[in-house]
Amino acid sequence: ETGVTQTPRHLVMGMTNKKSLKCEQHLGHNAMYWYKQSAKKPLELMFVYSLEERVENNSVPSRFSPECPNSSHLFLHLHTLQPEDSALYLCASSQGKDYEQYFGPGTRLTVT
């Protein structure tokens, strides 16, 4: 099931740029997540929103700023990133925080 969409699919940005990643879920879920996936490392949970309220922030640098305007949309605002931030950024949603998570296709981010 591909009820979670992410745009853009690929993004190349310089360290001084500002960009935003967008996630939209069409599943009627009320929890949304941002994960970072780097090569050969476990998925790292970055942020969790439940009913539009941020409930988890895993010590993510302030150059990453999430926004959840409603239960269907989630953004990740990026500012002055570092090359080590290059990774696949995955969005997921679930019916609630204890329910199964469904992932989007991800945004492949390259910071130059």
Partner 1 sequence: TQLLEQSPQFLSIQEGENLTVYCNSSSVFSSLQWYRQEPGEGPVLLVTVVTGGEVKKLKRLTFQFGDARKDSSLHITAAQPGDTGLYLCAGRTDSWGKLQFGAGTQVVVTP
Rule CB under 8 A: choose which of 16, 70, 84, 100 binds partner 1: 100
Q: What single-letter amino acid sits at 33?
A: Y
Of positions 17, 22, 45, 63, contacts partner 1 by CB under 8 A: 45
Q: Cβ contacts of residue 106 below 8 Å, gap of 6+?
A: 6, 9, 37, 88, 89, 90, 91
**Size of site (CB under 8 A) for partner 1:** 22
56 contributes a contact to partner 1 by CB under 8 A: yes
> What type of residue is 59?
S
97 contacts partner 1 (rule: CB under 8 A): yes
Entry field: residues in the chain: 112
Find out whether 34 and 87 touch, Cβ atoms under 8 Å.
no
With CB under 8 A as the contact rule, the residue among 42, 53, 59, 83 that binds partner 1 is: 42
The two tokens of residue 44 are 């790292």
Binding status of residue 90 toward partner 1 by CB under 8 A: yes
**Interacting residue ranges for partner 1, rule: CB under 8 A:** 4, 6, 9, 40-43, 45, 48, 56, 90, 92, 97-98, 100-106, 108
